[in-house]
Amino acid sequence: MTKVRCALLAVLCGASTLWGAEVTGVIPQPIKEETFDALFNHSPFTRSLGFSDSIILTGVARVENDVFATLYDTKTMESHLVSKTANALGWQLVGVRGSEANLQTLSAKIQIAGGQVVSVRYQKPPPKSSRAASGGNAGEASGNAPTLKPSEVQEAQNAAVNYREGFTSDGYPRQPPPEMVEKLSRLSVGQREDINRQMIGLRNKGLGMEERRKIYENLVDRSARR
């Protein structure tokens, strides 16, 4: 890294010397290395050309031992959910830094297609009116073992029994599709109720419908494998 800095500094200094001699006709003053601190710290050669600058981190959700991060593209107004398993775009969550108690400190490392790892920092999500129909503010989504009201506990229990009808927190606009119903039928009532409790907690935290659906399907698949 030191050699790269010295080489870049030498090139820039040489260019500056030629420019100064030609324009001013005087002996140029030596340039200090501090002049190029901004360039060294934000080098254009380290930027990711395959990952849009419009991508922001809007939330982190912890479900049991899994961590999910919600990314939002401010240009296309699309939400993307990433976890330790690569999503359809090939994005995979490598790690999360910062305190969930202070969202401004959060950042996520994302491995994109090709293996490159980029860092995405938290930003406040755009107003709901300008977003695609995601159903909520994912920036508030975090936590585990949610505390539910008695009515919400009853909702989780009822949905565990009447799983074919679906419920407000599974991420589906209406009843779950047949393939999901088939998976749910292989779970016990207790397993379904536990999943429902977690999903209601995420709904209460503001996680949008699309993100809830993906997490719901992930939890059902994992419980089915058990």
Band (pLDDT 50/70/90 cuts) for residue 30 is: low
Average pLDDT for the chain: 75
pLDDT 10s digits, 110-158: 998 778 899 999 988 776 544 443 334 434 444 444 678 899 999 999 9
Which residues lie across from 120 on neighbouring strands? 108
The C-alpha atoms of residue 170 and residue 62 are separated, in whole angstroms, by 16
Q: Note the helical H segments in the chain.
A: 2-24, 37-41, 150-161, 178-185, 189-205, 209-225
What does the pLDDT read at residue 29?
Answer: 59
CA angle 196, 199, 205 (to 5 degrees): 145
Q: Three-state SS for 143? A: coil
Report which listed range, 37-46, 85-94, 142-151, is most confident: 85-94
**Strands 107-111 and 78-82, how do they pair?**
unpaired
Render pLDDT for 164-222 as a digit per residue (tens, 0 to 9).
999 989 999 999 999 999 999 999 999 999 999 989 988 887 778 888 898 999 889 98
- Condensed to tens digits (0 to 9), the pLDDT of residues 160-175 reads 999 999 998 999 999 9
Alpha-carbon gap, residue 36 to 171, rounded angstroms: 50
